Amino acid sequence: MIKNQRVTKNHLYSQSSGNIVSDMDGEKVMLSVHKGKYYNLGELGGEIWDLIKEPVTIHELVATLQSQYDVAQTECEEQVTDFINQLLEQGLVKIEDRINS
């Protein structure tokens, strides 16, 4: 698990393995098998979780969410960054360096 790493626009983020996710009344809840802890991702958090099945950048996440919701780019970026940071702190996402083409 990576501690004290901050979310940047130059990295790709994806789900860590070992998590069981269920849909409960439109909100996603997750059990981390490694930690033995439950997390309520909520509706939007669950949507972000689905979007990071494959490695994705913060910019790509924000663009996808903005196409679905009426939200300002700055606010969306802040919310997504905060959420990914929380997942990072819990070891629920992986970081990969962005591959420049």
Q: How far is CA 50 from CA 3, 4, 38, 93, 100, in A?
A: 23, 24, 17, 12, 24
Tell me the pLDDT tens digit for each residue of 63-89.
999 999 999 999 999 999 999 999 999
Residues in the chain predicted with pLDDT less than 50, given as ranges, are: 1-3, 101
Which residues are CB-contacts of 61 (< 8 A; sequence separation ≥ 6)? 13, 48, 51, 52, 80, 84
Q: What is the pLDDT of residue 3?
A: 47
**Cβ(52)–Cβ(14) below 8 Å:** yes
Q: Within the chain, how many helices (H) and strands (E) appear?
A: 3, 5
Q: What is the pLDDT of residue 97?
A: 77
Q: What is the pLDDT of residue 4?
A: 52
Q: What is the pLDDT of residue 39?
A: 95
* Residue pointed to by tokens 């981390």: 32
pTM across the whole model: 0.85
- Helices 58-68 and 73-89, interaxial angle, to 10°? 130
